[in-house]
Amino acid sequence: MSRKPGGGFIGDGLAQIGALGLFLLSVLAAVPRSLRYFAETVRQIFFVGAMSLVIIMTCGLFIGLVLGLQLYEVLSRFGSTASVGTVVAIALYRELGPVVTALLFAGRAGTSITAEIGLMRATDQLAAMEMMAVDPMAYVVAPRFLAGVIAMPLLASIFNALAIFGSHLVAVTWLGLDNGTFWSNMTGAVDVWTDVMNGVWKSAVFGAVVTLVATFQGYSTAPTSEGVAYATTRTVVYSSILTLAIDFLMTAFLM
Amino acid sequence: MTQRRSHQIGTGLFILLGFAALGYLATQTTSLANYRQGPTYALKARFTNVGQLKLRAPVKIAGVRIGSVSDIQLEPDRLEALVTLAIDNRYNQLPDDSAAAVFTSGLLGDQYVALKPGGSPDMFKNGDEIILTQSSMQLEELIGKYLVGSGDSPAKKPAESESATQEGKTP
Amino acid sequence: MSAVSTSSKDALVRIRGLRTRLGGKVIFDGVDLDIPRGGITAVMGPSGTGKTTLLRHITGQLQPDAGEIVVDGRNLAQLDRNGLFELRERIGYLFQNSALLTDFSVFENVAFPLRQHARLPEELIRNIVLPKLQAVGLRGAAELMPAELSGGMARRVALARAIVRDPMLLIYDEPFVGLDPIALNQVLKLIRVLNQTLGLTSIVVAHELSAVSRVADHIYLLAAGKVAAHGGPDELVRGDTDWTRQFFGGEADGPVPFHYPARDYASDLGFAKERA
Ligand SMILES: Nc1ncnc2c1ncn2[C@@H]1O[C@H](COP(=O)(O)OP(=O)(O)O)[C@@H](O)[C@H]1O
Ligand SMILES: [Mg+2]
């Protein structure tokens, strides 16, 4: 996976995407074998999911507070403060929830996945597994990938719930919007399938994207402490860019 | 082993919490919240024009949702819209001279039925009809009124259209 | 020198005509080598000659460009993934840096190969793991985490893990590096004792002649992509080639040059014109 110098920016980018695509195939091929190690997947859901709760909940709450403030201010110019709840909910479910959660997830869980697998590579733990006839793709990579796909929609939902709570706190408790107005406008305009579930699919895809990049970077890292450090940075950069690009494609063509 | 156990418990709690949040969002903050309603009673109202009013649109008093539109039909003999409202049973203290109007939320939002409480000592019962109604304000009509009314006497046209929609069947 | 030992019939590992290039560099250029059953064979050579690479070939982690590798009668080139895994289940491998799984305790590290390949009752796992830990003298450390171990202890745990499934072949990659004299003696003793009591075949990769000559029955000296010399320890030390003299005599210059290949010294210093 070493990159040849002078390959050119576009050539490098294409090579990376190609390598990532091949890696995706081998991860998917390893998923059935990884079901033997289901306990490992459960453990990884704990690490990537439960351990990300604090940052997800805190950020969700603050996003909700800010959205409540901003939208109340802006919508009051049109005399439509009644729609604060609606706009907050739709913006969160369709875009902000999945995307912001994915970016936070890349920083919190993605980096630790890369660093962990990179260190396993550098200290021969992956080779040791090969030697113990345990396939690291099935035992190390696939469970983390599955955990990301499972945990991300749940994290995004928790993020959204906290953000709704935050915007309610600002708009209703603080700025005095009527409670019934807030909720009834929201329930009148938000749809389960086109808004909530679309967000859930999106975040499952983002979970796959971030964990795929993170495991790929860790797996193919140069086995030195410097290599691990660079790989960790690349995980954040690449998975953020990829998340936003795929978000655009999904929104434009699928939803 | 014990560590593995605590990870399993933590994972279980996390998944529970996540699904609880998802379930809450899906059922309490979307139109699903309107399906799931307790026992209701029906009120009827006639409008000359319901505009964009849709089934399951909210019925509100003072901005608070108290029920939803359960049926919209054309009454063949009078060529008016007959709208059936399903009102939550806990809001059973509505004076029987309350008025109904089809409003738009915000400038361009969805339409809903607003009730304006009257002062009668008697309350609506299941199947009663709301006598005082006001039809939907069509944006086109408003603009037309404005353009025409600017040359005319300003009070005339709005008054006409208002009274036309007001059903004159007050006892 | 005839590279093939006479006992090639009962060799556990047989390598013929091995050729490998890695990153454009020739690592092996025609290596023939036999590892006899039941013995302790040492593979020695300067750093970077490809000793670890040779081990990766023997365990099928790396395919050679050319040549034949036969382990226990099976040609590695003809094995699929499952066949390789089956073979590896009977090979214990001690990594240069122990490679213990950082998430697991000492006990769980040693139990790991057992748990991955069979659903055994917990009691049976204890009855297998504890004797191995006892053998390396670390039964008392069963509940420690890898981060709490010294280098020598970690290596002994890795050794216990390597023998937990009673392998036929035990491979040690640089088992003496970074050990204090006490730990080194402990590891030496273990290599000897395990080989005798478990009746297995051992390959020891190292470059400490004093240590190796105390355990090895047979030594291969690799250099410049070829087998430079092989034979019993005494034989080799007395050997009279440039390689053996430099390697076992510890001379700074010889076939392995002291100077990294460079341009002419004078021209580097800027005297080229005057000379010419
Ligand atoms: N994957 C690889 N790609 C390129 N070069 C490699 C690779 N693995 C090892 N090498 C090179 O092969 C040579 C032999 O390495 P190694 O077998 O680790 O030597 P030793 O164990 O004898 O010190 C080294 O020069 C190393 O740089
Ligand atoms: Mg080496």
Contact between residue C8 and residue C170 where contact means Cβ atoms under 8 Å apart: no
**Number of Cα atoms under 13 Å in the Cβ half of residue A100:** 23
- How is residue A86 written in tokens? 């609606």
- Taking contacts as CB-CB distances below 8 angstroms, the residues of chain A near C112 are 132, 134
Q: How far is B169 from chain A (nearest CA, A)?
A: 32
**Number of Cα atoms under 13 Å in the Cβ half of residue C216:** 30
Question: Which residue out of C52, C56, C208 has the highest number of ligand 1 atoms within 8 Å of its CB and is therefore the one to mutate?
Answer: C52
Would you say how long chain A is, in residues?
A: 255
C51 lines ligand 1 (CB under 6 A): yes
- Domain-embedded: residue C263: no
Average pLDDT over all residues of chain C: 87
Does the pLDDT at position C66 exceed 50?
yes
Q: How many domains does chain B have?
A: 2
Same-domain check for residues B11 and B71: no
CA distance A241 to B121: 65
Q: How many domains does chain C have?
A: 1
**Domain range list for chain A:** 8-254
For residue A97, the Cα-to-chain-centroid distance in whole angstroms is 10
Q: What pLDDT does residue C269 have?
A: 84
Q: Compute how many other C-beta atoms are within 10 angstroms of the C-beta atom of residue C82.
A: 9
pLDDT digits (tens, 9 = 90+) for C188-246: 998 999 899 888 999 999 888 888 888 999 999 898 888 988 888 888 777 767 777 77
- Write the residue with the smallest CA distance to atom 17 of ligand 1: C50
To the nearest 10°, report the CA torsion of A90, A95, A97, A100.
-150
Same-domain check for residues B50 and B77: yes
CA distance A83 to A87: 6
- Domain-embedded: residue B136: yes
Question: Which residue out of C19, C25, C96, C226 has the highest number of ligand 1 atoms within 8 Å of its CB and is therefore the one to mutate?
Answer: C25
Q: Which domain holds residue C224?
A: 37-52+81-252
Three-state secondary-structure class, residue C58 = helix
pLDDT tens-place values along chain B, 171 residues long = 577 788 899 999 999 999 999 999 999 998 887 766 678 899 999 998 888 888 878 888 887 878 888 899 998 888 899 999 999 888 888 898 999 998 886 665 678 899 999 888 999 989 899 988 888 777 677 777 777 765 544 444 444 444 444 444 444
Chain A residue with CA closest to C111: the answer is A132
pTM, whole model, 2 decimals?
0.81
Same-domain check for residues B68 and B116: yes
Q: Compute how many other C-beta atoms are within 10 angstroms of the C-beta atom of residue C167.
A: 19
CATH number of domain containing C131: 3.40.50.300
- Write the residue with the smallest CA distance to atom 10 of ligand 1: C22
- With tokens 């399906």, the residue in question is B35
What percent of chain C has pLDDT above 90? 51
Q: What pLDDT does residue B106 have?
A: 61
CA distance A187 to B31: 5
Strands C74-75 and C66-71: antiparallel
Residue at B70: amino acid letter: S
C249 lines ligand 1 (CB under 6 A): no
- Whether residues A128 and C61 touch (CB distance < 8 A) is answered with no
CA distance C130 to B145: 94
Same-domain check for residues B41 and B11: no
Largest CA distance in chain A: 69
Chain A residue with CA closest to B29: the answer is A187
CA distance A209 to A246: 9
Chain B residue with CA closest to A193: the answer is B26
A131 CB within 8 Å of a chain C CB: yes
Three-state secondary-structure class, residue C36 = strand
Three-state secondary-structure class, residue A222 = coil
Tell me the sheet residues that pair with B64.
B61
Three-state secondary-structure class, residue B25 = helix
pLDDT digits (tens, 9 = 90+) for C120-143: 899 999 999 999 999 899 999 999
Task: Please spell the DSSP secondary structure of C190-252, one letter per residue.
Answer: HHHHHHHHTT-EEEEE---HHHHHHH-SEEEEEETTEEEEEE-HHHHHH--SHHHHHHHHT-S
In this complex, the residue of A80, A179, A185 whose CB is nearest that of residue B107 is A80
Of C14, C32, C45, C2, nearest in space to C224 by CA: C45
Q: Which domain holds residue B59?
A: 35-140
Reported confidence tier of residue C7, pLDDT bands at 50, 70, 90 = very low
Mean pLDDT within C248-255: 72
Reported confidence tier of residue C1, pLDDT bands at 50, 70, 90 = very low
Neighbouring residues of B134: CB distance < 8 A, sequence distance ≥ 6? B47, B99, B100, B101, B102, B162, B165, B166
- Domain-embedded: residue C9: no
- Whether residues A130 and C61 touch (CB distance < 8 A) is answered with yes
Neighbours of chain C (3+ CB pairs under 8 A): A
Q: How far is A87 from chain C (nearest CA, A)?
A: 45
- Domain-embedded: residue C69: no
Tell me the sheet residues that pair with B71.
B84
pLDDT tens-place values along chain A, 255 residues long = 444 454 577 888 888 889 999 999 999 999 999 998 899 999 999 999 999 999 999 999 999 999 999 999 999 998 888 889 999 999 999 999 999 999 999 999 999 999 999 999 999 999 999 888 899 999 999 999 999 999 999 999 999 999 999 999 999 999 998 887 888 788 878 989 999 999 999 999 999 999 999 999 999 998 888 999 999 999 999 999 999 999 999 999 877
